[in-house]
Structure 1
Amino acid sequence: MKATLSVAALLVTLAARGGRSDELPPVRRATLDNGLRLVVSEYHELPLVEFYVMVGAGAAQDPPGKAGLAALTATTLRRGAGSLSAEALARAVDSLGGRLDATAGIEATVVSAEFLAKDFSAGLDLLRQVLLDPTFARDEVRRAREEQAAEIVAALDDPGAVAEKCFAAFLYGAHPYGRPIEGFRSTVPGLSRGDVRDFYERWYRPNDTILVLVGDVETADAIIRLREAFGAWRPRPDAVATRAGAPEPVSARRHLLVDKPDASQTQIRFGNISIARSHPDYLAATVANTILGGGFTSQLIEELRVKRSLTYSAWSGFAARLQGGDFRVGTFTKSPTTVETLALALEVEGNFRTQPTAPAALDKARTFLRGQFPLRLESPDALAARLAEGEFYGLPEDDLATYRSRVAQVTAADVERVARDHMPDPDRVAIVVVGKASEIRDPLTARFGNFDTIAPDACEKLSVAR
C-alpha cells in the first residue's frame, strides 16, 4: 500500500512540475556542537518522515580476529533499547505502523526508520533510544550471534553468494574490502556481549555520524527537535575511523576454482581494482558500464545471451567505495559451456575497452539513466539514502540536482577514456569460477592455465593473505 502511494505521488509531482524531474526538494545542512551532521529535506507529497543514519564504521573496523562484529552490533542494536525489551521495542514500532532497521556495511552502518508524519515525535524518540541507549541484552546477543553463524553456513549452499564472497577475498586479500560483512565461521561464534558493547562505545558517536531526515516536516522545527534528541550524544575523538589505504590491483591474470561437487551450473566473476565513489570519472564510468553490462540491452547480454544462449544473465559494475573499489563482470552458465562463456565474457570486456563507442549505444545509455533517475528518488527513503550517500562520500552538494544534465553531457570520447582507464585489461584480472571441478577444471586449465582449486569454506583464508 505504501509503495503504491509513493509511485502515485511521484506521478502527480512530475506532472505538476511539467516533467522537470530533476527538480529536487530544498536541502538544508547543519552540524551540531557534538559533530553530528544533519541533512533535512522537506517532502510533502506523502505524510511520512524518513530517518537515515550513517555511522562511519562497518566491517572494515572489525578488530583482528573478530570479523562479523559490526554486523552483530547492528543486528542487536534494535533488539531492546532504554526500558524497552526487544519485544516491547518491536511492538512500539509496529503500533505506529513504522519501520526501524539497522544494517552494517563495509565502511559504515545504516540505521533507518520510517514513521507517519503525525508520529514524528514518538518515532524520533524510539530512534534516539536505539542509537543512544541500546541494551544489548545477553540473550539477544546470543540469539543474533547464532542466527548470523547459521546464515554464514547456509550461504555456502548458494553458488552466487559463494562467487561474490570468494571473488572479493581473492581480489582484495588482506585489505578490509575483502572481508565478508557477516564475518567467518571461525570468528562469529566467539563474539561476546562485551565485544558488541565495546564496538558500540567506540564507534557509535555523533562526530562521525550523518543523520538525514526527509519527510513531511518544517525544516527549522525539525532541526530544533533533532538537536533536542541528539544534542547530548557525547563525541569521542577516536570514533573517526582511520581508513585503510587504496587496495592494490592485481598485475597479472590470476585464477581460482571453487569446487562445488553438486553444482550443475558455473558461476563466473572477474575484475580488478578500480575507482573510488568520489572519483570525478564516476558518472562517465556509470554511462560506460550501462553500455557494457548495466542493463538488459547491454553488450554482455547481447553477446552471451541473445546471440549464443550461454546464460540468462550477464552483468558488470563498479563497486566504488571511499578508498577505491573494483570493477567486476559476472555471469553463470551450464558446466559444459563454462570455458566458452568465460572466454567470450573476457573478449567482450576487452573489446569494449579498445573499440569506438557506437552513437546509438551511447544515446540509449544516456536516455536510460536519465529516465531511471527520478524513479530512484520516488519515495522519502530513496531520497534520504541518496542524500546520505552524497554526504558520506563527500560528493558535491548539487550532485543529485545536476545528475541528469551531467549524464546528457557524457560524450563518446568520455566513455572510451574511462573504459580504457578504469575497466581492467582482461590479461590483468582476478578470475573466480565456482562449479563442479571434476567437470570443468581440465577444460579451464587447458584454455587459461592453472587454476588453484579450493572448497567454498576455504575462501575465508583468502581474506587474510594474498
Structure 2
Amino acid sequence: MTATHHSTAKLPGPDDVLRQEFANGAVLLSRTNLFSPAVALRGMLPPGALADPPDKIGLAHFMASMLMSGTRIHAFRELNDLVESMGATLVFGGGKVATSFAGQCLREDLPQLLEILLEVLTQPAFPEKQFQRTKMQILTAQAIQAQDTAEVAEQAFDRAIYGSHPYAHPDLGYPNTVQSISREDLQAFHQRFVGPQGLIVAITGGADSEEILQAFAHTLGAWENPSQVSQPPIPPVQPIQATYREHVPLEEKSQSDLVIGTFGPKSTAPDYFASMLGNDILGQFGMMGRIGESVREKAGLAYYASSSLDMGIGPVTWQVTAGVNPENLDQTIALILQELERFTNELVTEDELADVRSELIGRLPLSMESNAGVAQALLNLERFGYGLNYLRELPEKLAAITREDILLAAQRYWHLDRLMITSAGKP
C-alpha cells in the first residue's frame, strides 16, 4: 500500500459515513470516532439573505442572530444556562443562501443538544429585550464597517460586480432596512422559510452512528412545518462588460484597501480544482504566492496582498486584495495587473504546481484531525453534491491537474479588459 493510499484510506468515505435522508426532507451525515469523548455538529438550512425582502435587507441575518435569544419554553438566560451546564456550545450565523449552525457536546449529551436545537429552530420567541439589543448590535456593526477601508472596498466591489443581483447586498443589511425590521417580521419570516426541507446536519465524534441516527430521528428527523416555502432560486448574474474603477473616499485614513476581481467558478464546476491550484500559486502559497512576492516582498508597496477564490453554489468571485499606503494605490494596481497578465498568458512552473499540489494534498488529512473538521467536510460533501467518495478521490484529482489546465482556467475567468476594481481610503 502506498503512502498516499494509506493516508486517503483514513479519510471519510462511503464505508464509514452514514448518510440518511428523512421523509421530511432533512439529511443526516455521521461518522463515528470512538476515541473521542465529544461530538461536533455542523449544519445549515434555509433561509439565507437570498430570501430577504427588498425593503428588509438583513432580515435573514437578524433572524439567525436571535435564535439563541430565547424560545417559548426557555427564556434567554435559561436557554444559554442549559447549554453551558452541559459544557456544550450552540451558535448560529446567517449567510447568502442558508442559516448555518455549529455545536459540540459530550457524546452522552448529544440527544439533549439535538432537542435544544429542535426547540430553538421551531419555537423561537424573539423576545423584545433581546430584539432591541440585537438590532443595536447590528447597527453598531454596520457603523464600524462603514469606517473600515477593507470592508468598504469589499462592499463597493459587491455592488459593482453583482449590480441588481441579491448578492450585491451585505448580509447585515443597511441601517434603514434593519431599523424597519420588527419582531413580527422575524416571526413571519421564520414561519415561512424555516423548516426541515433543505436541512443538512453532519455529526461526528464519539457517539455510535446508530445512536446518532436514533437521536436525530426523534428530533430533527420528525420535524414538520407544513407552511414552509422554498426561498427564491439564485438568479443568474450579468457578465462583466468592461473594466470598472471606483474609489470610495474615507477621511483621515492612513491605509487604503483594494479589491480587483472577476467572477470565478462555482465549487461544482469541472475546472474548480484547476482554479483552486492556480489561485494558490497566484496569491496564497507561502508568502501569499506571486502577488505577495511581487507586491509586498519585492516592491514593498503593500501591508498585505493576496488572492482568494470563493466557495459556493452561486455566482462566486475570484479576487486579489491588498492594503496599501494611499500614495501607493495606483502603483499597486498596476503591479497586480502585471501579475494577472502573466498568470493568464504563461504556464505556471512545474515547481509551483508541485509545491501547491503537495501542500493541498498534505493539508487534507490534517484538516480531518478534529471532529469539527470532519463535520464541516461532510456538510460540504452534501451541500455541493460531491458524493461520499470525494475526499478519498481528491488527491488523485489534484495530482491529475496539469499546468495547461491551470492556464485554461485562468484564461476562462480572468479578462484584463473586464475587471472590477474598487478601493476605499484617503480621498
Match of 1:70 among 51, 60, 67: 60
Distance 1:22 1:401 in 2: 8
Aligned to 1:24: 12
Distance 1:165 1:132 in 2: 33
Distance 1:24 1:241 in 2: 31
Distance 1:231 1:257 in 2: 50
Preserved contact between residue 275 and residue 410 of structure 2 (Cα < 8 Å) = yes
Aligned to 2:110: 120
Aligned to 1:362: 353
Aligned to 1:372: 363
Deviation at 1:61, TM superposition (A): 0.8
Aligned to 2:296: 305
Aligned to 1:33: 23
Q: Deviations 1:80-112 (Å, cap 9, x if unpaired)?
A: 124211111111111111111000001111022
Distance 1:408 1:56 in 2: 36
Where do residues 180-329 of structure 1 align in structure 2 (5 Å cutoff)? 180-236=170-226, 239-297=229-287, 298-329=289-320
Deviation at 1:44, TM superposition (A): 2.5
Letter matched to residue 269 of structure 1: V
Match of 1:133 among 123, 126, 136: 123
Distance 2:353 2:10 in 1: 21
What SS does structure 2 have at the residue aligned with 1:239? Answer: coil
Pair 1:143–1:400, CA change in 2 (3 A): same
Deviation at 1:282, TM superposition (A): 0.9
Distance 2:201 2:91 in 1: 14
The reply on whether 1:349 has 2:337 as its aligned counterpart is no
Aligned to 2:97: 107
Match of 1:381 among 372, 377, 380: 372
The reply on whether 1:83 has 2:44 as its aligned counterpart is no
What SS does structure 2 have at the residue aligned with 1:174? Answer: coil
What SS does structure 2 have at the residue aligned with 1:271? Answer: strand
Identity of aligned residues (%): 27
Preserved contact between residue 55 and residue 203 of structure 1 (Cα < 8 Å) = no
Q: Deviations 1:145-176 (Å, cap 9, x if unpaired)?
A: 11111110111121111122221112111211
Pair 1:39–1:64, CA change in 2 (3 A): same
What SS does structure 2 have at the residue aligned with 1:276? Answer: coil
Where do residues 428-447 of structure 1 align in structure 2 (5 Å cutoff)? 428-437=418-427
Distance 1:237 1:93 in 2: 29
Preserved contact between residue 192 and residue 227 of structure 2 (Cα < 8 Å) = no
Distance 2:188 2:345 in 1: 51
Distance 2:176 2:72 in 1: 32
Q: Deviations 1:333-352 (Å, cap 9, x if unpaired)?
A: 11111111011011101210
Deviation at 1:231, TM superposition (A): 3.5
Aligned to 1:440: none
TM-score by length of 2: 0.94
Letter matched to residue 407 of structure 2: E
What SS does structure 2 have at the residue aligned with 1:400? Answer: helix
When the two chains are superposed, the root-mean-square deviation of aligned CA atoms in Å is: 1.8
Q: Deviations 1:299-318 (Å, cap 9, x if unpaired)?
A: 10111112111113211122
Preserved contact between residue 248 and residue 273 of structure 1 (Cα < 8 Å) = no
Letter matched to residue 345 of structure 1: I
Q: Deviations 1:176-227 (Å, cap 9, x if unpaired)?
A: 1111011101110111111111111111110121121112111122112211
What SS does structure 2 have at the residue aligned with 1:38? Answer: strand
Distance 1:341 1:395 in 2: 38
Aligned to 1:395: 386
Deviation at 1:18, TM superposition (A): 6.3
Match of 1:93 among 74, 83, 88: 83
Preserved contact between residue 8 and residue 392 of structure 2 (Cα < 8 Å) = no
Preserved contact between residue 260 and residue 321 of structure 2 (Cα < 8 Å) = yes
Q: Deviations 1:430-462 (Å, cap 9, x if unpaired)?
A: 11011211xxxxxxxxxxxxxxxxxxxxxxxxx
Distance 2:103 2:211 in 1: 19
Structure 1: gaps (5+ residues)? 1-14, 438-466
Distance 1:351 1:72 in 2: 43
Deviation at 1:368, TM superposition (A): 1.2
Aligned to 1:412: 403
Distance 1:323 1:273 in 2: 10
Distance 2:373 2:182 in 1: 34
Aligned to 1:147: 137
Distance 1:224 1:134 in 2: 24
Q: Deviations 1:111-168 (Å, cap 9, x if unpaired)?
A: 2211011222222221121122222112211211111111101111211111222211
Distance 2:37 2:238 in 1: 47
